[in-house]
Amino acid sequence: MIITAKTILNKAQKGKYAVGAFNIYNIETLHAAIDAAENLQSPIIIQTSESAIAYAGLEILIDMMRIAARESKVPIAIHVDHGRDMKLIKKAISIGYTSVMIDASHHPFEENIKLTKEIVKAAKKRNITVESELGIIGGKEDDLEGTSWCTDPKQAVKFVRQTGIDSLAVAIGTSHGAYKVKGDRLRLDILKEIRKRVSIPLVLHGASLVPKHALTKARSLGMQVGKAQGIPKSQIKKAINLGICKINVDTDLRLAFSTALREYTQKHPESINPRDALSYAQKATQRSVEEHLRLFGSVGKA
């Protein structure tokens, strides 16, 4: 069933668990996310980045997501991740997304407020949830690249009050992608201060787990994953206990999908049916989604 992200996140905040927000870009990753949610009876958010939209097309993606979510029995929100193109975000609002993220964090503080307010005004007319980011979540993933700086708890109060957003993505030491700075850990002290001052649901980006078993398999298949490392599960659990209600997952799904494709083609060099390889990758991605849902504490919360 299709539902607003605000409804899902408010329930998660009260229940002290987090909802997984999974980036999809084709029919296989979409089915992987929803099949996992149904298998574990968990609410989820399915989301598309601007690069995924450029790859597959906005209207094609929204139609796929709406049909799949409408036919599912678990609560699903449909979200635009890291929206920077104002025209694209407004179009997404008009064609059926139930949630959007306006990411103007790369602008000065006052400009961030101004642009965010513009999207909030457009979204509220259609009862659409708005997420925004304060601080910079660094690293590189898709077209996002930058140096991290943490969210100022005092600024967070002003930002939330003046923009009227429904959820706030905070920068507390995470970075996008799998290739994180050595020793990268969450600034839970900053998160604790933000939670004291801000009452709306908080969002964590750049928190890839990059499981060791996934890296081991990738390396055994000749994939160049270098010194990739993720955030420890213990840190994720502590962040949830301190108020994180939504956690974005992209890199871990890419790793699962790409590794499975490589594994299948190496095991079955005679195969010329792409559906077999894609189905194999879909199942591997579903297992990754399920691993995250269990960690986030949302199992059985549908």
User: What phi and psi values does residue 297 have, to the nearest 5 degrees?
Assistant: 80, 20
Interatomic CA distance for residues 232 and 237, integer angstroms: 9
Question: 67: which 2 tokens?
Answer: 């049909």
Chain-centre distance of CA 235, in angstroms? 17
Judge whether 24 and 119 are in contact, CB under 8 Å. Answer: no
Interatomic CA distance for residues 71 and 299, integer angstroms: 20
Is the four-CA dihedral 44, 98, 14, 233 of positive or negative sign? positive
81 is catalytic: yes
Sheet architecture: strand order including 144-146? 144-146, 138-141, 175-176
Judge whether 206 and 235 are in contact, CB under 8 Å. Answer: no
Judge whether 41 and 299 are in contact, CB under 8 Å. Answer: yes
The torsion region of residue 94 among left (phi > 0), alpha (psi -120 to 50) and beta comes to alpha
Active-site residue, selected from the candidate residues 35, 63, 81, 189 = 81
- Residues tagged active-site: 81
